[in-house]
Amino acid sequence: MSEIDGLVKAYERIVKLLWDLSLAGAQKVWFAIYDPSQERRLRLRLDEFAAVTKNAGYNWQKLDLTDSFANWMANHEYREDYFADPEAMEIALDGFAEHVTEEIINALEAVGVDNKTVVAIVGLASLFGLTRASTIFEKASSSIKGRMLVFFPGHHEGNNYRLLDARDGWNYLSIAITADLNN
pLDDT in the model for residue 183: 44
Which amino acid is located at 157 in the chain?
A: E
pLDDT in the model for residue 182: 45
CA distance linking residue 126 with residue 110, whole number of Å: 23
Residues of the chain with pLDDT under 70: 78-79, 81-83, 88, 158-173, 181-183
Total number of domains constituting the chain? 1
Q: What is the CATH number of the domain that holds 11?
A: 3.40.50
Domain that holds residue 161: 3-182
Phi-psi region of 138 (alpha: psi -120 to 50; beta: other; left: phi over 0): alpha
CA distance linking residue 58 with residue 54, whole number of Å: 5
